[in-house]
A and B are shown apart, each in its own frame.
Chain A
Amino acid sequence: MTIPHADQIRLYRDMALARRFEEGVAEAYADSFIGGFTHLYTGQEAVAAGSISALNHDDYVNATYRDHAHALARGADPARLMAELYGRTTGVCKGKGGSMHFYDAENYFLGGYGIVGGNLPLAAGLGLSVQMKDEDRVVMVFFGDGASNNGVFHESLNMAKLWNLPVIFLCENNFYGIATDVRISSSFNEIYKKAQGYGMPGHVVNGMDVLEVRELCDEVVRHVRQGAGPVLIEARCYRFGGHSMTDPARYRPRAEEELWRKRDPIPRLARHLLKRQICDQARLDALQAEVNETVEAAMRFAEESPVPAPEALYEDLYVEEPGA
């Protein structure tokens, strides 16, 4: 195990924050502070936390509509993310984006996107910009198992490899695209092996184990940063709740859900940290208390923030207005 102890503790904190943030979102959604489509990340925390922690601050990341934890892992301010969900001016997108569309350029989180697969070509394009500007950066793009059946997945992998772009394609295989089991929607279910079709390396990792994710990503990021071209990673994981706030997930067998809940990445890391005496329970409790306070403060901040002024409706459409 090569991951520094401080990083391991930090991963615990990142996952706890993501978990608690989503709990806060669920409460605020129930209280109608949040509307629209809201997709929680609960259960999958190890993937975003583990993989993003392997990046440099100025590496690029983009994600899907299930983007809360990715933005948090990038270091976005939880209060401004929450304010976005509440549709307030202080939100990361001034309340114009909402849950599916976080953006935080300062932390190189370059967007959450609502159209399945839509962010993959963007990631390839970011990779091209890095290459053409000769920058020391990699790109990490998140998408689901369902997205791997859409045309742009294949087009993006092909072009990324063809042009040797520094892109890490990270497929979060939670086995469902809304209600559709990946086993009835993909002709071939080992997604990571699809990399072979494009001549790039493909890896599979246990997405419920944050340290495994981090270890693999450390290696992959190093490889991609050296100019070796794109890589596909399949992280097998599970969302504990429904697809979105309005989905009770009745299509999933209860036994399957219970099995995966036993693999909860947060208690798993806690057990490891305690067993290896990397930290004690008091430290974990303190971290939990800290993230609870962070989320509470974020919700207070969001609630107290103003809604956008009516003039905001016509702002931000174009950079330039003719004659202005």
Chain B
Amino acid sequence: MPEQRFFEALNHAMFEEMTRDERVFLLGEDIGLVGGTFRVTEGLMAEFGARRVRDTPIAEATIVGLATGAAQGGLRPIAELMTLNFGILAMDQLINHLSKMRYMFGGAVSLPVVVRAAFGGGTQKGAQHSHSIESWFVNVPGIRVVLPSTPYDAKGLLKTAIRSDDPVLFLEHEMLYATRGEVPEEEYLIPFGQAEIKRPGRDVTIISWSRMLLESLDAAEKLSKEGIEAEVVDLRTLDPLDFETVLASAARTRRAVVVEEGWRNVGVGAEIAARLQEHLFYDLEAPVQRVAAADVPTPYAKNLERLALPCADQVVEAVLKATL
């Protein structure tokens, strides 16, 4: 199978869907002439023209609101927020408008909007540029939340997002863009709500997504050398959440660790841990462990940033706690 980088896989997904459906168009900052800060939209303006690939001013709230209105009018926009940090300026449009309109209007409207955004820390970008705040959106009903970890998943999930008639927040970790992986030439889609076991194991279940999935796989490799076989589950979409797969795995291993890059306090891990104990209270051998960011703004200094953000070693530690 040919290999592709993460950003190329995303690019191809949009290329294919724009070719397939005239109504799909893109808007965002620096996405056209220069092909995107992370090269995701490279070549698309040359291919589809400035009518369908629109460079916008720095106006996040209006980018998302305008996409929502365009969808109301029958188009299928893909709005790029250069990074999710700037998407915070668009929270009103995302939460008060995009996520609410269909239900609030009694199903009278469908809003096929994809909002794509880079996100995440780990490269010393400091407190305002390092957010992993997917939990905020998972908390809000009415918008799907998708976080691929591999080029293969990125392409298949983005195509599904574009064809979905519901709003989708599609989050791409900045440190994943350059990663490589196999991507078939023939068309495929990955349905929402299907977690994938990225590594099978019998001793403990590690649940993760996006970049932390890679840290979890690293940890599993290290643990394997210690004789502990971890099963690594990639949730891929947090809304809808495939809890069945998580439950089945944890029921087998009887131990679970949730790994996320966002803050620990009221993070996604808290929700998963709560659900696991609802279902497996008498079967679990140990409390569900959470690996997450320290509850402080991400510091700039390299040594402090390393302490603040989760990494494979912390996953190993948490697994050891869960398997004592």
Q: Please, which residues of chain A bring their CB within 8 A of the CB of B127?
A: 96-97, 101, 114
With contact pairs A114-B128, A184-B55, A317-B296 given, residues A178 and B29 touching in the complex (Cβ less than 8 Å) = yes
B interface residues, tally (CB under 8 Å) = 35
**Contacts between chains A and B (CB distance < 8 A), count:** 121
A37 to B301 alpha-carbon distance, docked (Å): 12
Q: B287-320 vs A: 1/0 string, CB under 8 Å?
A: 0000000101101111110011000000000000
Most buried by A among B33, B85, B88: B33
- Kindly state the separation between the CA atoms of A85 and B207 in the bound complex, as whole angstroms: 36
When the two chains form their complex, are residues B128 and A87 in contact, meaning their CB atoms are under 8 A apart?
no
A180 to B301, CA, bound (A): 30
Binds A, one of B118-126, B143-151, B192-200: B118-126
- A1-42: CB near B (< 8 Å → 1, else 0) gives 000000000000000000000000000000000011100000
- Chain A residues whose C-beta falls within 8 Å of the C-beta of B88 in the assembled complex: 115
Query: Nearest B residue to A310 by beta-carbon distance?
Result: B307
Quote the shortest CB–CB distance from A306 to chain B (angstroms): 10
One digit per residue, 1 when the CB lies within 8 angstroms of any chain B CB and 0 when it does not, for chain A 81-108 equals 0000001100001011111110000000
Docked Cα-Cα span, A118 to B33, in Å, equals 26
Q: How many residues of A contact B (CB 8 A)?
A: 40
Asked whether B300 lies within 8 Å of A307 as measured between CB atoms, the reply is no
Contact bitstring A232-253, B, C-beta under 8 A = 1, else 0: 0000000000000000001100
- Are A95 and B300 in contact (CB-based, < 8 A)? yes
Interface SS majority for chain B: loop
Residue picked from A93, A95, A96, A146, most chain B C-beta under 10 Å: A96
Which chain A positions have C-beta within 8 A of B34? 179, 250-251
**Per-residue CB proximity of B103-144 to A under 8 Å, as 1/0?**
000000000000000000001111111000000000000000
Given the contacts A115-B86, A115-B89, A149-B58, A98 and B300 also touching, CB distance less than 8 Å:
yes
| B265, chain A: closest CB distance, angstroms | 12
Tell yes or no: A56 within 8 A of B by CB: no
**Closest partner residue, chain A, to B294 (CB atom):** A313
Given contacts A180-B29, A251-B33, contact A146 B303 (CB under 8 A): no
Closest-by-CB residue of B relative to A113 is: B128
Whether B58 and A116, one on each chain, are in contact in the complex, defined by CB atoms closer than 8 angstroms, is yes
B50 (CB) vs chain A CBs: closest residue: A184
Closest-by-CB residue of B relative to A250 is B34
10 pairs of residues in contact across A and B, judged by CB atoms under 8 Å = A87-B302, A95-B299, A95-B301, A98-B300, A101-B127, A149-B59, A178-B29, A179-B30, A180-B57, A313-B307
Given contact pairs A113-B128, A116-B58, a sample of 16 additional A-B residue pairs in the complex whose CB atoms are under 8 Å apart: A36-B123, A87-B304, A88-B301, A99-B300, A100-B126, A114-B85, A114-B126, A117-B58, A149-B58, A151-B89, A184-B55, A186-B57, A250-B34, A251-B33, A307-B302, A317-B296
